[in-house]
Amino acid sequence: MLGIMVVSLGGFLLLRPNDVPQTADGEAWLTEFADRLTSPRTWAARGPAALALFPGLGPWSGDSCVLAWSKRDASAPVVTYQRLELGRYRADEPCDQAQFGMLSTTLRQSEGITPGALVDRFTERFGLPDIHRDTGLRGAITYTWQIRDGIFTTVEERVQPGGTDTFSVLFVRSYGSPVTLTSADAGERWMDRTIKLVTGPELAEARGGPAIVELIDADMQPEGADAATCPTMYEANRSNTGPIGSGHSLLLERQDEEPCEAIRFSWLSMRIWQSESVTAAAMVERIEAGLGAPTLARDFNRNAVTYRWPTPHGTVVELTEDLSATGHHWLSLRTWRP
């Protein structure tokens, strides 16, 4: 099953039927709900671990590949409906590795649990949402945030005449969208390895396409008209976005009549997904420690900041931080030979 998965969310901290929350309790519940909904650990959950995030939806079946569960309780004090769907990226992928995908929840409004309160929390974290007003019979206002590429959250508030005491939250994750790391140590190791690659002499001095590709990402495949003969362009598998670095693009430089074994590095770019340990500040600090203070440029049209360093090996390193509401979860890292 490819494409976008939709999953219904909402089994966090389920309250007993008589536990209608008061204001303070409702605010705490909503904060926990928002934290869980947008947690990288939730996005990374697979199989039984994903189902375990939503108690009461049902058991994990070891005999058949059941990947969708739902529960409806119109009298529940908070969560009146929830549905969870997992999906496999490949047909032969084991069911217990199915990705957490899409999550939809209907919540009953009460003291502290309101659409406005949830919208405020998401806006604080992800910037201003896209707002759509349905002027038809449904009479709904929807607020949508792109949390990361391929990951969206929508809050729908019904405002039709007569009102309603419920509102909906939808989490949508495209297949293949990246998840973040499960440990800070893994992020530290990734940064150390990547910065050593782009600032050190090994990449700049390497010769031959296979040797250069091996340094960066062995899964990159040759592209372009010369892919079958003497490739000078490689791309990462775009469906394999990885937990941090993704979208690797590599260009090689070949002089006329030069043998393929002598091809050298020309240009490399990748996208970096930020997490608690892998951030723009952490990347800049590490690169600065080896190459000195960067040259800064601020692009107000793109709402981005670019840090640039020359290296002693005849290359340039550039890190771009996107500050926009929809792009601030990723960085762009490039290195090239001028």
pTM greater than 0.75 (yes/no) = no
Residue 18 scores a pLDDT above 50: no
Residue 267 Cα distances to 25, 71, 247, angstroms: 54, 52, 14
> SS3 for 280?
helix
Q: Which helix (H) or strand (E) holds 32?
A: helix 23-37
Closest listed residue to residue 48, CA positions, set 3, 82, 84: 84
Tokens coding 8: 């219904």
Residue 246 scores a pLDDT above 80: no
225 CB-near residues (< 8 Å, 6+ apart): none
Task: Assign 4 a pLDDT band (cuts: 50, 70, 90).
Answer: very low
- Strand positions, DSSP E, 10-129: 68-72, 79-87, 99-108
* Mean pLDDT to the nearest integer, 146-151: 77
Residue 306 scores a pLDDT above 90: yes
Domain ranges within the chain, ordered by starting residue: 4-174, 184-336
Task: Assign 6 a pLDDT band (cuts: 50, 70, 90).
Answer: very low
Alpha-carbon distance of 40 to 42, in angstroms, equals 5
